[in-house]
Structure 1
Amino acid sequence: MTNHKTVLITGASSGFGLLTSVTLAKCGWRVLATMRDLDRRTKLETAALDAGVQERIEFHALDVTNAEQIAALADLVAKRGEPLHALINNAGFAVPGFAEDVTDAELRDQFDTNFFGAVAVTRAILPLMRRQGFGHVVMVSSISGRVGFPGVSSYASSKFALEGWTETLRYEMKAFGIYAVLVEPGSFATDIWTRNAKMTAALKNPSAANAARVARWRSRIDQSAKDRADPQTVADVIARVVENPRPNLRYAVGRDARMALRLRGILPASMFEGVIIKSSGVD
């Protein structure tokens, strides 16, 4: 029996996945860091080297929409002969765009990674966790999985679906010592809305019906970028979750995320809608 804990993290090449990989490695965890393209491992390698934890991080290729890769990685983890203490489903991206403009193909692409990918990886790992009798499954969701916001219908709907699936999984697996957890960040300084965003084609069409609203919405997004919080906060929360033997179901992270939930709980529905619309800048 090894004296370290092992975690599998998807989408570890940047953002929350990268920071969580380094944070847990610094805490003594063995990290199986996965990413779709191993050529993008350099940023994590550099961060691990700077932190002195490069020996605790392994790199594995994993496209969460590729069933064969998922099965192969699950088999590899099972054959290691060591327990897997935690799975962190972090891989994801955003499709910015107004709901009426997003195509079926764009919406399916969003769900394939953010929802079906996380579900598929979890299902592949659950048999191992059931055999060992314990494990944490952490879904990196979003406050957009609890509250819808203009311009992010595709992203929000994929996270709403993930929230429902994970809550149900929690009830089904708790008796086996497996805890499903949702971490719900607000706005943090990652590249999910920049390099990792796949803008719907309508956002690039200056003659589209929503062109003026898109311009106002994008201006508000750009203005708010400087106020986004340090993403290390999310990595620290995830680290506490996987170290907690009995974590809660949900963890809203960030002042804006907690405020949105608080306001929805105390304001009349019509007033809350007005707050959301005004803050988005679309009208």
Structure 2
Amino acid sequence: MINKTAIVTGSSSGFGYVTVIELAKAGFHVVATMRDLTKSAQLEQELNSHNLLEQVDIEYVDVTSQESINKLVEKCSKYNSVDLLLNNAGFAVGGFAEEVTIDEYRKQFETNVFGLMAMTQAILPIMRKQRSGRIINMSSVSGLIGFPSISAYVSSKFAVEGYSESLRIECKPFGIDIVLIEPGSYATNVWKEGRSNSTGIGNEDSPYATHLAKIEERLAKEEKNLGNPLDVAKLVVSVANKHNPKLRYKIGKGIKMNVFMKHLLPWNIWEKIILRLLYK
């Protein structure tokens, strides 16, 4: 039996890390890519503890570097097929829109949007020639609902949502499925190690300082309710093996209801609810 091959970006931590392990457990040969190979030791140790090390190739890829992406594609020739691409690499810029510089917005989009697009463009010709394949783009509830103090991250995920809708329709005739996974709040490092605060955030003289304090206070209270990233990894494996997957898969406590309510309620009502929750 020939194992299917999966490529996972952003494998050094968070969803990518646990998904590499779960895909390997499910029988995939996984190409785990990361920008910093010095972070590979923990993943290798975990894989070895499950006797899965031989099923995973760890490769350097910086999704903002076309050269590194091209080198990965060259290495893909040794595989019988490329069956799955999980575009997971990303980070979050924190800060209020007035204070986030345009360069910081650009940096956010370089990884979360243009990096995802570059990886997709590189792998699509392989899948198109196979006339089969699946691309899963890791989105977020932030790609469906706007939140204050993370407009850069939110707008990047909204962009991924629109790109994926168009891409799905373009790729269907070639037997390629495009899927969005939209997690809510999970215990990953995207808001810690994976967070890059704007130059304006944390300034006590900022007109948004009080708002930021209230938002962070609320987030701290909700930390105990953060989901287990393993649940998202298992969803990825499930979607990877589905015969005819949907475009969108929402996961996380209250996410489906929140998205439903946003679309059901008039904007002015929705806005009042959010303002009351965050700033009361």
User: Which interval holds the TM-score relative to the shorter structure?
Assistant: over 0.9
Task: Map Cα deviations across residues 231-251 of structure 1 (whole Å, 9 max, x no partner).
Answer: 111111111111112110000
Structure 2 CA distance for aligned equivalents of residues 278 and 110 of structure 1: 29
Q: What does 1:1-283 align with in structure 2 at a 5 Å threshold? A: 3-77=2-76, 79-279=77-277, 281-282=278-279
- Normalising by structure 1, we get a TM-score of 0.96
Structure 1 CA distance for aligned equivalents of residues 279 and 90 of structure 2: 25
Contact 1:187 1:256 in 2 (8 A): no
Q: Give SS of 2:200's match.
A: helix
Structure 2 CA distance for aligned equivalents of residues 183 and 159 of structure 1: 11
Q: What is the RMSD computed on CA atoms of the aligned residues?
A: 1.2
Task: Map Cα deviations across residues 217-274 of structure 1 (whole Å, 9 max, x no partner).
Answer: 1221222112101111111111111111211000011123212112113323222112
Task: Map Cα deviations across residues 104-149 of structure 1 (whole Å, 9 max, x no partner).
Answer: 0110000000000000000000000011110000000001101111
Structure 1: gaps of 5 or more residues = none
Residue 50 (structure 1) shift = 2.6
Q: Give SS of 1:8's match.
A: strand
Distance 1:125 1:107, change over 3 A: same
Structure 1 CA distance for aligned equivalents of residues 279 and 31 of structure 2: 41
Task: Map Cα deviations across residues 151-204 of structure 1 (whole Å, 9 max, x no partner).
Answer: 110001000001101110000000000001100000011110011100111112
Residue 52 (structure 1) shift = 2.5
Task: Map Cα deviations across residues 34-65 of structure 1 (whole Å, 9 max, x no partner).
Answer: 00010011221222123221221110000000
Structure 2: gaps of 5 or more residues = none
Q: Which deviates the most, 148-157 or 209-218?
A: 209-218
- Normalising by structure 2, we get a TM-score of 0.97
The total of aligned residue pairs comes to: 280
